[in-house]
Structure 1
Amino acid sequence: MYFFPVMITSDALQGIPTYLPKYQPALAVFTCQTHKSSCYRLSKRFIPGSTSTEQWRHYIAMALNMNTMRNSNSKMMRSSRTCVVVRSVAAVERGTVNVQRNENFAKLRAGYLFPEIARRRRAHQDANPDAKVISLGIGDTTEPLPQYIADAMAKAAAGMANREGYSGYGAEQGQGSLREALANTFYPNLRVPDEIFVSDGSKCDIARIQMMFGAKATVAVQDPSYPVYVDTSVMMGMTGEYNNAGFDNIVYMECKPENNFFPDLSKMPRTDIIFFCSPNNPTGAAATRAQLTELVNFAKKNGSILVFDAAYALYITNPDCPRSIFEIPGAEEVAIETCSFSKYAGFTGVRLGWTVVPKALKYADGTPVWNDWNRMMTTCFNGASNIVQAGGLACLQPEGYKEMISLIEFYKENATILLAAFKEMGFKVYGGNDAPYVWVGFPGKASWDVFAEILQKCDIVTTPGSGFGPAGEGFVRASAFGSRENILEAVRRFKVAFGK
């Protein structure tokens, strides 16, 4: 890390110091100034290792020219000698190879949301070693695997040690018995097993979906929403730069209490891809049948593909809120659905999910999207673990399904406890009825400031709403994934710190 100031006057552009190009910053700030004040500032992101003397001269001249235009009516500016001060910000060490970094990764914010939360938690714990920190932050399950499901995986693992039970590579699309069970359990009379692709989880499938559509695809996301939709769009080169509110070239579909957490589609431009999660992470809002019908019709009208994230569908209790987008007539022509066992059966560390790609969904040239998704999975994936798939199949047997639903009910009870507590304290709070998250408003406060305040006062980790998108500012998300003891203790601490 280094910092350097270099001053260059407007009448000496040809005399840029020859040593300047040896500095290869990730970001440089050019400040135009007179003898009295700083007048204009230009920031430029560089690919370290590629900055030449001509590039330095170009951006310094640009800063001078823009400063002159901005102050063209000022006699003081016309008569004053203007200079440019160049400062390096976030400079990096020279590389060990002559390979340039993917410029799309340079656009990403400093850290993915949840690792950043973990970093701040560690810093708090280091400063307060005796504190018993409770995490209501990342939505990671906490309760043991249901016994019937764990036994099925143990049996499959033990079977790998003998010739009769051993199995090597399986079908990349997933075991036939599991695909059939998924179709019968979640999509009866809606989808067929051949359209269901078993994977190592929704998060991985979202990245593969982005790879399949490519950098030229345009994207819309709920705002706020799961950060992976945006970050994978950035990685793929679908976006422009970050503009202090969001990324250029992404359509943020604002979902706030004022619009019942459903976007005004009449104001939305067309995009190729629409990411939509119901129940929503982080707000906990589940879309109604009427709303999803409107969404499907919007996708049809615009010729868009709807990527529907149903990771929390089994938490829905409202009968007017569908658990699958394919409950909406015509969705098979415009929608892909992804789902996971992570929050159903405690598989966050086990890893098993699935994506449904109807054969009726076709590109503009008539090619079935199924063809490309099948190629994606057979090329980039070798299939989910045979042992884990045995656990997934057990989840869908009568005894395993009963255990899985019991686990979901436990987390839903946690959400009910949190929801009631925040309401009792007078907060505006949402979610918690059809999802394992509650969305708590702190009007007029920055989300990261609220996160820090709660951590400092209560030794509780939450998730700052701004990490899910611009519309999340002023909120924090509290997760219901935790032991009952921790949930009750968290409520007690909240009431001590924030109760009236």
Structure 2
Amino acid sequence: MNPVACLRLPASAATPPSPSRCRAASQPPRSVSRLPPRASSSTAAYTTKVYRNANIAKLQAGYLFPEIARRRAAHLLKHPDAKIISLGIGDTTEPIPEVITNAMAERAHALSTVDGYSGYGAEQGEKKLREAIAATYYGDHGIEETDIFVSDGAKCDISRLQVLFGSNVKIAVQDPSYPAYVDSSVIMGQTGLYQQDVQKYGNIEYMRCSPENGFFPDLSSVPQTDIIFFCSPNNPTGAAASRDQLTQLVKFAKDNGSIIVYDSAYAMYISDDSPKSIFEIPGAKEVAIETGSFSKYAGFTGVRLGWTVVPKELLFSDGHPVAKDFNRIVCTSFNGASTLSQAGGLGCLSPEGLKAMQDVVGFYKENTDIIVDTFTSLGFNVYGAKNAPYVWVHFPGRNSWDVFAEILEKAHVVTTPGSGFGPGGEGFVRISAFGHRENIIEAARRLKQLYK
């Protein structure tokens, strides 16, 4: 995949232009007469008269993970006999437990019968699954079945939430953080241009999370923003926020009138007393939305099933319930999650399914131990891993893409450069624990050989 062309703000510019000013500067008004494309040149391509979305042009290169895949493919062309081990993209590798696939198979076979066939379902998800999610993950937090919106994954819901918020909001993100938050904000027109000198987009608040502050931002230095994207355990750092830290975050949102979008995709990996849901914090229902996913619990990265919690207590500034507008977005743009995926979700939440998911999570956590031991033995500072399937390794003073290239070229191991998650990730590399055990052990051997 070729990187997407991008617009860059000169280092001398103090303030990036707004999206509307960017459009006005780069595109003629509709009333201006335009000549049709020339057809005389044999090399000239035909073009339509439709303007390109100027917000897409702001995006830097390709989306992080397709860019990693592109570089992996290029490396394989150069070294066709190399046995590449991928510990970069956070894709699961272990088979889905049979108790879950059996539930999907049973539903699939039922579709071939008159009594078992079903067509369109509720856009919000099947009632039984919404009830099961509420009871399993939010039973003690006052979240009800009607607050749950089942979806085809948390990443998809992030974009739907951006449509809900519109272009006239300002967001804050952890730095580093999952790139979908920032990229979806850019596409929606919430930001200014990319500022190459500081590696940030205008009109986004980057909340620095580093070893020095325990990977939790100094909220006293964060200005008021409308939407706060917060992931715990964090991707990529693996840090899980404590109860006291999340209490501070909820208070900060209330004091500023902000909405928190809390990404809990890795909550099942928490092994200490860190909260697994933002709704464990008193008052969170008045300021927070939470997304969840079966991708990293049950291996549903390809099956696609997640959910978003929008409490009825969450209101816009005019008193209108946020859930009503999100329901309108869902009903307009989505026909509901696959019935087979939802059957799998019910299988996941059965007693046997929950035990099977815990076993899968436990397997990946053992992989993190191997990776941590490897880098620790080599003298690196290592973070994360305890409550997440990611290991965040520090390479002080080095460009993270250079480290990525070095490990790929010399060890044939794919990692993820930290700078792909924001400027705060420079000097770090993320190692994913998603992999077959023999590959994890072999990758550890190669890395020890490289950095011994």
- Do both share a fold (TM > 0.5)? yes
Aligned residues: 422
What's the secondary structure of 1:423's corresponding residue? Answer: helix
Distance in 2 between residues matched to 1:149 and 1:361, nearest whole Å: 34
Match for residue 422 of structure 2?
469
Classify the secondary structure of the residue corresponding to 2:69: helix
Aligned partner of 1:259 in structure 2 is 213
Map of 2:179 onto structure 1 = 227
Give, in whole Å, the separation in 2 of the partners of 1:405 and 1:370: 31
Q: Is the contact made by 1:216 and 1:238 (CA closer than 8 Å) also made in structure 2?
A: yes
- Among residues 188, 191, 194, which one is paired with 1:242 in the alignment? 194
Contact 1:26-1:46 within 8 A present in 2 as well = no
Task: Give a deviation string over 1:14-55, Cα, whole Å, max 9, x none.
Answer: xxxxxxxxxxx987999xxxxxxxxxxxxxx99999579xxx
Q: Mark the CA change 1:46 to 1:498 in structure 2 (over 3 Å): closer, same or farther.
A: farther
1:195 and 1:106 map into 2 onto residues whose CA distance is 36
Equivalent residue for 1:130, pick from 81, 91, 102: 81
Aligned-pair CA distance for 1:96? 2.1
Q: Does residue 121 in structure 1 map to residue 81 in structure 2?
A: no
Match of residue 102, structure 2, among 140, 151, 156: 151
Rate the CA distance shift 1:173–1:104 in 2: closer, same or farther, 3 A: same
Runs of 5+ unmatched residues, structure 1: 1-24, 31-44, 53-91
- The SS at the match of 1:358 is coil
Name the counterpart of 2:35.
none
CA contact (8 A) 2:23 2:54 kept: no
* Aligned counterpart, 1:494: 447
Distance across 2 between alignment mates of 1:118 and 1:48: 35
Match for 2:134 among 183, 199, 203? 183
Once residues 260 and 308 of structure 1 are traced to their aligned partners in structure 2, the CA distance between those partners, rounded to angstroms, is: 19
Q: Greater CA deviation, 187-196 or 201-210?
A: 187-196
1:401-416 pair list within 5 angstroms: 401-416=354-369
1:312-461 equivalent positions in 2, closer than 5 A: 312-319=266-273, 321-461=274-414
Report the Cα offset of residue 378 of structure 1. 1.1
Residues 106-157 of structure 1 deviation map (CA, whole Å, 9 limit, x = unaligned): 0001100000000100111100011000000000000111011001101111
**Would the alpha carbon gap of residues 28 and 420 (structure 1) be closer, same or farther in structure 2, given more than 3 Å must change?**
closer
Which one-letter code corresponds to 1:343 in the other structure?
K
Rounded Cα–Cα distance in structure 2 between residues aligned with 1:96 and 1:456: 40
8 Å CA contact retained: 1:47, 1:100: no
Distance between the aligned counterparts of 2:424 and 2:259, measured in 1? Answer: 23
Q: Paired residue for 1:166, among 117, 140, 157?
A: 117
Pairing of 1:261-300 with structure 2 (within 5 A): 261-300=215-254
Q: Is the 8 A contact 1:26 1:47 kept in 2?
A: no
Offset of residue 189 of structure 1:
2.6
1:216 paired to 2:168: yes
- Give the match for residue 96 of structure 1: 47
Cα separation, 1, equivalents of 2:311 and 2:436: 39
Q: 1:362 to 1:488 in 2, by over 3 A?
A: same
Q: TM-score, normalised by structure 2?
A: 0.91
- In structure 2, the residue matched to 1:84 is none
> Quick one: percent identity of the two aligned structures?
63
- Which letter maps to 1:220? A
Amino acid at match of 2:237: T
- In 2, distance between residues paired with 1:28 and 1:228? 20
Please give the alpha-carbon distance, in whole angstroms, between the structure 2 residues aligned to 1:322 and 1:29.
40
Do the aligned partners of 2:9 and 2:193 also contact (CA within 8 Å) in 1? Answer: no
Deviation at 1:248, TM superposition (A): 0.6
AA aligned to 2:122 is: A
Give the counterpart letter for 1:141 in structure 2. Answer: T
Q: Within the alignment, does 1:109 sit opposite 2:109 as a pair? A: no
How many Å separate the matches in 2 of 1:26 and 1:109? 6
1:221-250 deviations in Å (ceiling 9; x for gaps) = 000000000000000000000002110110
Does the Cα contact within 8 Å between 2:176 and 2:237 map onto a contact in 1? yes
Q: 1 CA distance for matches of 2:213 and 2:165?
A: 30
Q: Is the counterpart of residue 197 in structure 1 residue 197 in structure 2?
A: no
| Secondary structure of the corresponding residue to residue 200 of structure 2 | coil
- 1:26–1:130 Cα change, 3 Å: closer
CA shift, 1:318, in A, is 1.0
User: Would the aligned equivalents of 2:192 and 2:201 in 1 still touch at CA under 8 Å?
Assistant: yes
Contact 1:26-1:48 at 8 Å conserved across structures: no
How far 1:490 sits from its partner (Å)? 0.4
Q: Distance in 1 between matches of 2:47 and 2:328?
A: 36
Per the TM alignment, residue 352 of structure 1 is displaced from its structure 2 partner at its CA by: 0.1
**Cα RMSD over matched residues?**
2.0
Q: Which moved more, 1:369-378 or 1:282-291?
A: 369-378
Gaps of 5+ in 2: 11-21, 30-42
Provide closer, same or farther for how the CA distance between residues 252 and 27 of structure 1 changes in structure 2, counting only shifts above 3 A.
closer
CA separation in 2, counterparts of 1:285 and 1:226?
Answer: 13
Cα 1:26/1:351, change in 2 over 3 Å: closer
